Protein backbone atom coordinates (compact mmCIF):
# COMPACT_ATOMS: atom_id res chain seq x y z
CA UNK A 1 0.00 0.00 0.00
CA UNK A 2 1.18 3.50 -0.83
CA UNK A 3 0.79 4.84 2.65
CA UNK A 4 2.87 2.09 4.20
CA UNK A 5 5.54 2.58 1.57
CA UNK A 6 5.87 6.25 2.29
CA UNK A 7 6.03 5.62 6.00
CA UNK A 8 8.77 3.06 5.54
CA UNK A 9 10.78 5.32 3.30
CA UNK A 10 10.63 8.32 5.57
CA UNK A 11 11.11 6.73 8.94
CA UNK A 12 14.90 6.40 9.10
CA UNK A 13 15.74 9.99 8.11
CA UNK A 14 14.40 11.98 11.06
CA UNK A 15 12.67 10.37 13.93
CA UNK A 16 10.24 12.99 15.20
CA UNK A 17 11.07 13.84 18.76
CA UNK A 18 8.77 16.01 20.82
CA UNK A 19 11.64 16.21 23.29
CA UNK A 20 13.70 18.26 20.82
CA UNK A 21 11.08 20.97 20.60
CA UNK A 22 10.73 21.07 24.32
CA UNK A 23 14.47 21.16 24.91
CA UNK A 24 14.87 23.90 22.34
CA UNK A 25 12.22 26.11 23.90
CA UNK A 26 13.52 25.41 27.41
CA UNK A 27 17.00 26.42 26.30
CA UNK A 28 15.67 29.63 24.78
CA UNK A 29 13.59 30.42 27.85
CA UNK A 30 16.49 29.84 30.24
CA UNK A 31 18.84 31.88 28.06
CA UNK A 32 16.37 34.73 27.84
CA UNK A 33 15.66 34.78 31.57
CA UNK A 34 19.41 35.11 32.15
CA UNK A 35 19.62 37.78 29.46
CA UNK A 36 16.76 39.66 31.11
CA UNK A 37 18.47 39.69 34.51
CA UNK A 38 21.73 40.89 32.96
CA UNK A 39 19.83 43.50 30.95
CA UNK A 40 18.06 44.87 34.01
CA UNK A 41 21.39 45.33 35.78
CA UNK A 42 23.16 46.68 32.70
CA UNK A 43 20.24 48.94 31.84
CA UNK A 44 20.43 50.41 35.33
CA UNK A 45 24.21 50.76 35.22
CA UNK A 46 24.56 52.34 31.79
CA UNK A 47 23.63 55.91 30.97
CA UNK A 48 24.99 59.41 31.03
CA UNK A 49 26.45 58.66 34.44
CA UNK A 50 28.03 55.23 34.59
CA UNK A 51 27.40 53.20 37.72
CA UNK A 52 29.46 50.04 38.29
CA UNK A 53 27.43 46.82 37.93
CA UNK A 54 28.35 45.69 41.43
CA UNK A 55 27.13 48.95 42.85
CA UNK A 56 23.77 48.53 41.06
CA UNK A 57 23.35 45.13 42.63
CA UNK A 58 24.32 46.55 46.02
CA UNK A 59 21.89 49.45 45.86
CA UNK A 60 19.00 47.28 44.68
CA UNK A 61 19.73 44.63 47.25
CA UNK A 62 19.88 47.28 49.97
CA UNK A 63 16.47 48.62 48.99
CA UNK A 64 14.85 45.22 48.57
CA UNK A 65 16.39 43.10 51.30
CA UNK A 66 18.27 45.62 53.44
CA UNK A 67 21.51 43.79 52.56
CA UNK A 68 23.92 45.54 53.04
CA UNK A 69 22.20 47.34 55.85
CA UNK A 70 24.41 50.44 55.76
CA UNK A 71 24.80 52.39 52.55
CA UNK A 72 28.32 53.52 51.73
CA UNK A 73 27.47 55.23 48.47
CA UNK A 74 26.36 58.75 47.73
CA UNK A 75 22.75 59.84 47.89
CA UNK A 76 22.87 60.85 44.24
CA UNK A 77 24.03 57.39 43.15
CA UNK A 78 21.29 55.89 45.28
CA UNK A 79 18.63 58.01 43.65
CA UNK A 80 19.99 57.49 40.12
CA UNK A 81 19.89 53.74 40.55
CA UNK A 82 16.80 53.29 42.66
CA UNK A 83 14.58 56.27 41.88
CA UNK A 84 15.40 57.04 38.26
CA UNK A 85 16.83 54.16 36.33
CA UNK A 86 15.45 51.00 37.89
CA UNK A 87 11.78 51.94 37.51
CA UNK A 88 12.54 53.01 33.97
CA UNK A 89 14.24 49.69 33.16
CA UNK A 90 11.40 47.74 34.74
CA UNK A 91 8.83 49.74 32.81
CA UNK A 92 10.81 49.07 29.62
CA UNK A 93 10.73 45.34 30.36
CA UNK A 94 6.99 45.36 31.09
CA UNK A 95 6.13 47.45 28.06
CA UNK A 96 8.30 45.29 25.79
CA UNK A 97 6.80 42.07 27.14
CA UNK A 98 3.24 43.36 26.98
CA UNK A 99 3.53 44.67 23.44
CA UNK A 100 5.23 41.49 22.23
CA UNK A 101 2.58 39.10 23.57
CA UNK A 102 -0.30 41.32 22.46
CA UNK A 103 1.27 41.43 19.01
CA UNK A 104 1.53 37.67 18.83
CA UNK A 105 -2.07 37.25 20.01
CA UNK A 106 -3.40 39.75 17.49
CA UNK A 107 -1.45 38.15 14.66
CA UNK A 108 -3.19 34.87 15.49
CA UNK A 109 -6.59 36.51 15.99
CA UNK A 110 -6.68 38.20 12.60
CA UNK A 111 -4.37 35.70 10.88
CA UNK A 112 -2.23 38.48 9.49
CA UNK A 113 1.51 38.71 9.96
CA UNK A 114 1.43 42.49 9.68
CA UNK A 115 -0.87 42.88 12.68
CA UNK A 116 0.57 44.66 15.70
CA UNK A 117 -0.84 45.73 19.08
CA UNK A 118 -1.97 49.06 17.68
CA UNK A 119 -4.24 47.39 15.18
CA UNK A 120 -7.19 47.76 17.51
CA UNK A 121 -6.93 51.54 17.69
CA UNK A 122 -5.60 51.59 21.23
CA UNK A 123 -2.70 53.94 20.61
CA UNK A 124 -4.81 56.41 18.64
CA UNK A 125 -7.36 56.35 21.45
CA UNK A 126 -4.65 56.94 24.04
CA UNK A 127 -3.22 59.92 22.21
CA UNK A 128 -6.69 61.36 21.69
CA UNK A 129 -7.41 60.97 25.40
CA UNK A 130 -4.08 62.52 26.36
CA UNK A 131 -4.53 65.33 23.86
CA UNK A 132 -7.95 66.15 25.24
CA UNK A 133 -6.54 66.17 28.76
CA UNK A 134 -3.52 68.31 27.92
CA UNK A 135 -5.17 70.78 25.61
CA UNK A 136 -8.42 71.30 27.44
CA UNK A 137 -7.25 70.67 30.96
CA UNK A 138 -9.70 67.85 31.48
CA UNK A 139 -8.21 66.37 34.61
CA UNK A 140 -11.23 64.51 35.91
CA UNK A 141 -9.98 65.50 39.31
CA UNK A 142 -7.24 62.91 39.12
CA UNK A 143 -4.35 65.17 39.92
CA UNK A 144 -0.96 63.73 39.10
CA UNK A 145 -2.24 60.67 37.27
CA UNK A 146 -4.59 62.64 35.06
CA UNK A 147 -2.59 62.13 31.89
CA UNK A 148 -2.00 58.38 32.05
CA UNK A 149 -5.57 57.88 33.19
CA UNK A 150 -7.07 59.92 30.36
CA UNK A 151 -4.81 58.11 27.91
CA UNK A 152 -6.00 54.81 29.38
CA UNK A 153 -9.65 55.84 29.12
CA UNK A 154 -9.11 57.00 25.55
CA UNK A 155 -7.52 53.65 24.73
CA UNK A 156 -10.42 51.72 26.27
CA UNK A 157 -13.01 53.82 24.46
CA UNK A 158 -11.15 53.26 21.19
CA UNK A 159 -11.00 49.49 21.59
CA UNK A 160 -14.65 49.38 22.65
CA UNK A 161 -15.44 51.33 19.50
CA UNK A 162 -13.42 48.91 17.37
CA UNK A 163 -15.19 46.01 19.00
CA UNK A 164 -18.61 47.59 18.44
CA UNK A 165 -17.88 48.33 14.78
CA UNK A 166 -16.42 44.85 14.21
CA UNK A 167 -19.44 43.30 15.87
CA UNK A 168 -22.07 45.42 14.22
CA UNK A 169 -22.97 42.64 11.82
CA UNK A 170 -23.31 40.19 14.68
CA UNK A 171 -20.08 38.25 14.26
CA UNK A 172 -16.50 39.25 15.00
CA UNK A 173 -14.56 37.81 12.09
CA UNK A 174 -10.89 38.43 11.51
CA UNK A 175 -11.44 40.60 8.44
CA UNK A 176 -14.04 42.72 10.18
CA UNK A 177 -11.77 43.22 13.19
CA UNK A 178 -8.92 44.24 10.92
CA UNK A 179 -11.03 46.76 9.00
CA UNK A 180 -12.70 48.16 12.10
CA UNK A 181 -9.31 48.64 13.77
CA UNK A 182 -7.84 50.49 10.83
CA UNK A 183 -10.96 52.65 10.34
CA UNK A 184 -11.30 53.67 14.00
CA UNK A 185 -7.53 54.27 14.18
CA UNK A 186 -7.66 56.72 11.27
CA UNK A 187 -10.70 58.50 12.66
CA UNK A 188 -9.06 59.00 16.05
CA UNK A 189 -5.77 60.13 14.49
CA UNK A 190 -7.74 62.76 12.64
CA UNK A 191 -9.42 63.78 15.88
CA UNK A 192 -6.06 64.08 17.65
CA UNK A 193 -4.65 66.19 14.84
CA UNK A 194 -7.74 68.36 14.99
CA UNK A 195 -7.39 68.80 18.76
CA UNK A 196 -3.78 69.88 18.35
CA UNK A 197 -4.67 72.19 15.49
CA UNK A 198 -7.62 73.72 17.33
CA UNK A 199 -5.71 74.43 20.53
CA UNK A 200 -3.55 77.50 21.00
CA UNK A 201 -1.04 75.85 23.24
CA UNK A 202 2.22 75.04 21.47
CA UNK A 203 3.60 73.39 24.56
CA UNK A 204 0.47 71.27 24.92
CA UNK A 205 0.88 70.13 21.34
CA UNK A 206 4.44 69.13 22.11
CA UNK A 207 3.26 67.10 25.08
CA UNK A 208 0.83 65.18 22.90
CA UNK A 209 3.87 64.09 20.91
CA UNK A 210 4.84 62.04 23.93
CA UNK A 211 1.95 59.69 23.25
CA UNK A 212 2.50 59.69 19.53
CA UNK A 213 6.20 58.89 19.79
CA UNK A 214 6.35 56.86 22.96
CA UNK A 215 8.79 57.29 25.83
CA UNK A 216 9.75 55.64 29.08
CA UNK A 217 10.49 58.97 30.76
CA UNK A 218 7.39 58.83 32.94
CA UNK A 219 8.66 55.80 34.82
CA UNK A 220 8.67 56.03 38.60
CA UNK A 221 7.76 53.83 41.51
CA UNK A 222 4.03 54.05 42.01
CA UNK A 223 0.64 52.83 41.02
CA UNK A 224 1.07 53.02 37.22
CA UNK A 225 4.12 50.77 37.35
CA UNK A 226 2.37 48.36 39.70
CA UNK A 227 -0.70 48.24 37.48
CA UNK A 228 1.48 47.61 34.43
CA UNK A 229 3.30 44.81 36.27
CA UNK A 230 0.07 43.07 37.27
CA UNK A 231 -1.70 43.46 33.94
CA UNK A 232 1.26 42.47 31.77
CA UNK A 233 2.06 39.43 33.91
CA UNK A 234 -1.57 38.33 33.87
CA UNK A 235 -1.78 38.78 30.09
CA UNK A 236 1.37 36.74 29.47
CA UNK A 237 0.02 33.98 31.72
CA UNK A 238 -3.41 34.01 30.08
CA UNK A 239 -2.07 33.91 26.53
CA UNK A 240 0.29 31.06 27.44
CA UNK A 241 -2.53 29.05 28.99
CA UNK A 242 -4.81 29.50 25.98
CA UNK A 243 -1.85 28.92 23.64
CA UNK A 244 -3.25 25.83 21.96
CA UNK A 245 -6.57 27.52 21.35
CA UNK A 246 -4.64 30.37 19.75
CA UNK A 247 -2.96 27.78 17.53
CA UNK A 248 -6.37 26.51 16.45
CA UNK A 249 -7.67 30.03 15.82
CA UNK A 250 -4.57 30.89 13.79
CA UNK A 251 -5.45 28.10 11.35
CA UNK A 252 -8.99 29.24 10.79
CA UNK A 253 -12.38 29.82 12.38
CA UNK A 254 -13.92 26.64 11.03
CA UNK A 255 -10.96 24.57 12.20
CA UNK A 256 -11.12 26.16 15.65
CA UNK A 257 -14.81 25.35 15.83
CA UNK A 258 -14.28 21.69 14.93
CA UNK A 259 -11.62 21.50 17.66
CA UNK A 260 -14.06 22.71 20.29
CA UNK A 261 -13.05 26.38 20.36
CA UNK A 262 -15.89 28.80 19.67
CA UNK A 263 -14.00 31.21 17.40
CA UNK A 264 -16.02 34.37 17.92
CA UNK A 265 -16.43 34.02 21.65
CA UNK A 266 -12.74 33.24 22.01
CA UNK A 267 -11.75 36.17 19.81
CA UNK A 268 -13.92 38.52 21.88
CA UNK A 269 -12.32 37.29 25.10
CA UNK A 270 -8.85 37.80 23.65
CA UNK A 271 -9.80 41.23 22.41
CA UNK A 272 -10.80 42.36 25.89
CA UNK A 273 -7.58 41.02 27.43
CA UNK A 274 -5.34 42.45 24.73
CA UNK A 275 -7.08 45.84 24.71
CA UNK A 276 -6.69 46.12 28.46
CA UNK A 277 -3.01 45.20 28.35
CA UNK A 278 -2.15 47.52 25.47
CA UNK A 279 -4.15 50.34 27.05
CA UNK A 280 -2.16 50.02 30.27
CA UNK A 281 1.13 49.86 28.38
CA UNK A 282 0.34 52.81 26.12
CA UNK A 283 -0.90 54.99 28.94
CA UNK A 284 2.41 54.40 30.72
CA UNK A 285 4.77 54.74 27.78
CA UNK A 286 2.98 56.09 24.71
CA UNK A 287 2.82 54.21 21.40
CA UNK A 288 6.14 52.47 21.14
CA UNK A 289 6.29 50.69 17.81
CA UNK A 290 8.35 47.85 16.32
CA UNK A 291 8.38 45.54 19.37
CA UNK A 292 4.80 44.35 18.93
CA UNK A 293 5.25 43.68 15.24
CA UNK A 294 8.73 42.20 15.04
CA UNK A 295 9.27 40.30 18.27
CA UNK A 296 6.44 37.80 17.56
CA UNK A 297 8.20 36.86 14.34
CA UNK A 298 11.55 36.46 16.12
CA UNK A 299 9.94 34.32 18.83
CA UNK A 300 8.23 32.02 16.32
CA UNK A 301 11.48 31.70 14.42
CA UNK A 302 13.26 30.67 17.63
CA UNK A 303 10.87 28.13 19.12
CA UNK A 304 8.21 27.50 16.49
CA UNK A 305 4.72 28.87 16.05
CA UNK A 306 3.01 26.92 18.86
CA UNK A 307 1.80 29.64 21.16
CA UNK A 308 2.35 27.79 24.43
CA UNK A 309 6.07 28.07 23.67
CA UNK A 310 6.16 31.26 21.57
CA UNK A 311 4.23 33.52 23.99
CA UNK A 312 6.63 33.30 26.98
CA UNK A 313 9.63 33.54 24.68
CA UNK A 314 8.14 36.59 22.95
CA UNK A 315 7.52 38.22 26.34
CA UNK A 316 11.15 37.74 27.37
CA UNK A 317 12.50 38.86 24.00
CA UNK A 318 10.31 41.98 24.01
CA UNK A 319 11.47 42.86 27.53
CA UNK A 320 15.16 42.47 26.68
CA UNK A 321 14.82 44.29 23.37
CA UNK A 322 13.10 47.32 24.83
CA UNK A 323 15.54 47.60 27.75
CA UNK A 324 18.42 47.78 25.30
CA UNK A 325 16.64 50.12 22.91
CA UNK A 326 16.11 52.48 25.82
CA UNK A 327 19.72 52.14 27.00
CA UNK A 328 20.90 52.94 23.50
CA UNK A 329 18.65 55.98 23.35
CA UNK A 330 19.86 57.19 26.74
CA UNK A 331 23.53 56.74 25.87
CA UNK A 332 23.41 58.14 22.35
CA UNK A 333 21.16 61.06 23.24
CA UNK A 334 22.85 61.66 26.61
CA UNK A 335 22.25 65.22 27.79
CA UNK A 336 25.40 67.35 27.88
CA UNK A 337 24.96 68.12 31.59
CA UNK A 338 25.98 64.60 32.44
CA UNK A 339 23.19 63.82 34.88
CA UNK A 340 20.06 61.91 34.02
CA UNK A 341 18.06 64.89 32.98
CA UNK A 342 15.35 63.18 31.00
CA UNK A 343 12.78 64.18 33.56
CA UNK A 344 12.92 67.70 32.26
CA UNK A 345 11.26 66.44 29.15
CA UNK A 346 8.37 64.88 30.91
CA UNK A 347 5.14 66.09 29.38
CA UNK A 348 3.34 68.96 30.94
CA UNK A 349 0.50 67.90 33.13
CA UNK A 350 -2.93 69.35 32.58
CA UNK A 351 -3.15 72.84 33.95
CA UNK A 352 -4.31 72.42 37.52
CA UNK A 353 -7.10 74.62 38.76
CA UNK A 354 -5.00 75.84 41.67
CA UNK A 355 -1.24 76.12 41.96
CA UNK A 356 0.19 72.95 43.43
CA UNK A 357 3.51 72.31 45.13
CA UNK A 358 6.03 70.59 42.85
CA UNK A 359 5.40 66.84 42.93
CA UNK A 360 7.77 64.73 44.94
CA UNK A 361 10.58 63.26 42.92
CA UNK A 362 11.44 66.27 40.80
CA UNK A 363 14.44 67.10 42.95
CA UNK A 364 16.16 64.16 41.28
CA UNK A 365 16.74 66.11 38.14
CA UNK A 366 19.08 68.52 39.82
CA distance 66 to 291: 35
Identified binder of other proteins from the candidate list 64, 74, 197, 260, rule CB under 8 A: 260
Closest among 236, 227, 5, 286 to 98, alpha carbons compared: 236
Backbone phi, then psi, for 72, in 5-degree steps? -115, 35
Task: Answer yes or no: are the C-beta atoms of 265 and 185 closer than 8 Å.
Answer: no
The yes or no reply on residue 169 touching other proteins (CB under 8 A) is: no
Q: Which stretch binds other proteins (CB under 8 A): 77-85, 161-169, 190-198, 254-262?
A: 254-262
Identified binder of other proteins from the candidate list 85, 267, 300, 349, rule CB under 8 A: 300
Identified binder of other proteins from the candidate list 81, 225, 248, 279, rule CB under 8 A: 248
C-alpha distances (whole Å) from 255 to each of 165, 248, 259, 271, 361 are 25, 7, 6, 20, 54
Cis peptide before 30 (omega within 30 of 0): no
CA distance 138 to 352: 9
Count Cβ atoms within 10 A of the Cβ of residue 99 and give its class: 0-12 exposed, 13-18 middle, 19 or more buried.
buried
Task: Give whichever of 2 and 75 is closer to other proteins, judged by the CB atom.
Answer: 2
Q: Which stretch binds other proteins (CB under 8 A): 17-25, 135-143, 178-186, 329-337?
A: 17-25
Task: Give whichever of 257 and 294 is closer to other proteins, judged by the CB atom.
Answer: 257
Task: Give whichever of 1 and 67 is closer to other proteins, judged by the CB atom.
Answer: 1
CA distance 150 to 129: 5
The yes or no reply on residue 234 touching other proteins (CB under 8 A) is: no
Task: Give whichever of 112 and 199 is closer to other proteins, judged by the CB atom.
Answer: 112
Q: Which stretch binds other proteins (CB under 8 A): 28-36, 56-64, 253-261, 354-362?
A: 253-261
Q: Which stretch binds other proteins (CB under 8 A): 88-96, 146-154, 236-244, 315-323?
A: 236-244
Q: Which stretch binds other proteins (CB under 8 A): 187-195, 213-221, 224-232, 241-249?
A: 241-249
CA distance 168 to 166: 6
The yes or no reply on residue 30 touching other proteins (CB under 8 A) is: no
Identified binder of other proteins from the candidate list 139, 235, 250, 283, rule CB under 8 A: 250
CA-angle at 158, arms to 209 and 137, nearest 5°: 50
- Contacts of residue 123, Cβ cutoff 8 Å, sequence gap at least 6: 117, 155, 185, 211, 278, 282, 286, 287
CA distance 249 to 256: 5
Q: Which stretch binds other proteins (CB under 8 A): 161-169, 195-203, 247-255, 324-332?
A: 247-255
Identified binder of other proteins from the candidate list 42, 137, 173, 304, rule CB under 8 A: 304
CA-angle at 333, arms to 331 and 336, nearest 5°: 95
Identified binder of other proteins from the candidate list 31, 68, 143, 252, rule CB under 8 A: 252
- Interactions with other proteins, residue window 74-133 (CB under 8 A): 111
- Contacts of residue 178, Cβ cutoff 8 Å, sequence gap at least 6: 110, 112, 115, 119
Number of residues that bind other proteins (CB under 8 A): 41
Task: Answer yes or no: are the C-beta atoms of 329 and 341 closer than 8 Å.
Answer: no
Task: Give whichever of 263 and 286 is closer to other proteins, judged by the CB atom.
Answer: 263
The yes or no reply on residue 14 touching other proteins (CB under 8 A) is: yes
The yes or no reply on residue 39 touching other proteins (CB under 8 A) is: no
The yes or no reply on residue 341 touching other proteins (CB under 8 A) is: no
DSSP secondary structure of 152-174:
HHHHHHHHHHHHHHHHTTS---H
Binding region for other proteins (CB under 8 A): 1-7, 9-11, 13-14, 16-18, 20-21, 111, 241-242, 244-245, 247-248, 250-255, 257-262, 300, 304-306, 308
Amino acid sequence: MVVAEVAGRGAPTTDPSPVDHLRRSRRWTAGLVAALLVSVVAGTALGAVHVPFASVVEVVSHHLFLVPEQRDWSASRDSIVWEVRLPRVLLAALVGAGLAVCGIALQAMVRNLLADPYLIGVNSGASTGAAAAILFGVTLGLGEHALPVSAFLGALVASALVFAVARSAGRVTSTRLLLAGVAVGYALQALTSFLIFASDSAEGARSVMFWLLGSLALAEWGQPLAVAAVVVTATVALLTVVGRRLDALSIGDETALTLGVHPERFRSLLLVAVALCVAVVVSAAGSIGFVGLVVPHLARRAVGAAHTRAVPVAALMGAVLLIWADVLARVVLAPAGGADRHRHRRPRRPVPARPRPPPAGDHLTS
